[in-house]
Each structure stands twice: as C-alpha cells, then as structure tokens.
Copies of this chain bind each other. A is one copy, B any other.
Amino acid sequence: MPDDNNSNPLERLAAMLDDDMRATNGVIIRRMQSPVELIPQLATYLIAAGGKRIRPLLTLAATHIYGGDLKHAQKLAASVEFIHTATLLHDDVVDESLERRGKEAANLVFGNQASVLVGDFLFSRAFELMTECENIQILKILSNASAIITEGEVLQLSAAGNINTSMDDYIQIITSKTAALFAAACEVGPVLAGAEQTQAKAMHDYGHYMGIAFQIADDALDYSSDRETLGKVIGDDFREGKITAPILLALKNADAAESEFWARTLVKGEQNDTDLKTAQDILNKHDSINGSLALAQEYADKAQLALEKIPESPLRALLHDLVPYTIFRKA
C-alpha cells in the first residue's frame, strides 16, 4: 500500500482502497455494457475520462470502517458513480456545456438526445445495482437522495439569473444538488454493516457538510485564475448566470456600476468577451473568492466534527485530511 507523503489525501485514500476501487471500476465497466452500442460508447467517453471518483471512495471507506460486505459496497460505489455520471450528462444538456473533465462535452460529441437517454440508462442501472444488495434501507437512502438531487437541479434552474437569490437559497441548492449524494454515499457504509443509527447519522453528516464545502469551493474555483493557468475552463457559471457564493458576496458590496454590470451580465445574460475578466476583477476587489473559501471552511469544520463520533482508525484520519483538500484543491 503506497502511502507517499507527497501525494494528496484523495490519492492516499485511493491507494489505501486500491483493491476495492479496482473491483468497483470493474463493476462500473461491466454494468455500463449494453447490446445497444451507443450506450457503452457514450458512457465510456465520460467515465473513462476519469473524474475524481470521490463519491465511490467515500462509500468504500465508510464500509471498511464498519466492516460491511465489500462486494455489496463495490456495487453501491458503482451505483453512486452512475447516479453522479447521469446527473453530469443531464446537467451538460441543461447547461449547454462545451467541456467536461477536460474533454469536449458528451452532448456536443453524441448529441443532446443521446446524452438524455444514456443518462436515464445509467440512472436505471444504478437502481438495478442497488437492488442486488437486497437492503431496503439502503434503497430508501439512495432513491431519496436522487429525488433531492433533481429538486436541487430544478431549484438551481429557477434561480439562474435571479440576483435576489439569498445565501440561504444558495446553500439549499448546493445541499440538494451536491451534498445529498455525498451524504448518502457515506451513510450507506454503516447501514450496509448494520452499524448503530448514531454511526449512520455521523457518516451522513460528514458527507453532508463535506459536500457543501466541496461545492462552495467548486463554485469559487470557477472564477479562479489559478485554475485558468492549469488549462481548465473557467467561467461556466458566469456564462449560465448561476448565482453562486462568490457572486453573492460581491453583490452584497456592489457599488452602482457593479450592480449594473451584474444585472446586465447575469440577469439579462448580455455578455461580451471581456466581461468574465471584469467579473474576476470585481470578485478580487471584494475578496469574494477568499470569502467563499472561508465559508466553505465553516462547513469543513462541521464535517471534521462529525467524524469525531466515529471510531478512530487510519481511514478516519484520511477522511479527516480529505476535507481541507476538497476545499483547497486547484482543479
């Protein structure tokens, strides 16, 4: 088990769970097969492109901590990744995205129609996989999380371009669209192992707060020039008029000219080539990126606090270290 101190906590977690992660990837590859060729083609395009696999790692880690059935955990981990991938496919159709995971977005390569339907396929396949674990409580947790995710997506769609969105509204949106799946991915571990309700609650809370912190950081990164220097696309949220943490912090302190700028670019959606740079300058003026990361830190602290209720172990220590990493990552 490589445990190189130069690697980041996500890499160390993946290394510690290497066998299970390989088995999970095997499940992912096998279960996205279909005699309908377009399905594995499109699914492979997106899933093979990688992504951090943070959600399946959480499910595997949470199962290990409580000694649950690892064969079942691998199926649930694959299931969670399928749900996540399905929402990415549908998001990219909804947002008319150009790029995903450093590649041209699937909707552009295969068409919106295929992206909608293959998303549906992965979603159905996720439920099929879950049922194989024959645990009703787990099915309830994951189906409930799925419904909440889609509520969050619809809420986000309704809030786009609405600068009257409050910070509470924003937290509600990201809690639904991101934290619900993080929480469920963690909670199924102790439930699978038949652990006490307090343990399931602690793991749920860990995932919940980390999901919120993760998404706030993600929304800050979408304006970060550091990320730009890594060759990543930035400014997607700006182009889509999404009202995220950095925008909310800048709006609070906006002068008249800035208010006019946000109204034109985010509410009316009238944007020219220099507007993203101007938006970044305004965010920097109000220190809104750092302000967002400070907000993320508040949730990160709660995530680490939740971990104190679970038994000490090397995995718990890694989950602890994973929290700041998800906030201060660059990509």
Contacts and interface: CB of A to CB of B under 8 A. Distances in A.
B124 A149 contact: yes
Contacts of A144: 128
Given A128-B143, A147-B125, A154 B90 contact: no
Most buried by B among A90, A116, A119: A116
Number of copies: 2
Contacts of A139: 127, 131, 139
A39 to B, nearest CB: 6
Given A90-B120, A123-B123, A134-B136, A114 B157 contact: yes
Given A123-B123, A143-B131, A147-B124, A117 B39 contact: no
A178 to B, nearest CB: 15
A146 interface: yes
Interface stretch (A12-20, A30-38, A216-224): A30-38
A281 interface: no
Most buried by B among A123, A147, A157: A147
A151 interface: yes
A87 B90 CA distance: 14
A197 interface: no
A49 interface: no
A164 interface: no
A37 B136 contact: no
Contacts of A136: 131, 134, 136
A86 B157 CA distance: 18
B121 A154 contact: yes
Contacts of A140: 128, 131-132
Contacts of A121: 147, 150-151, 154
B158 A38 contact: yes
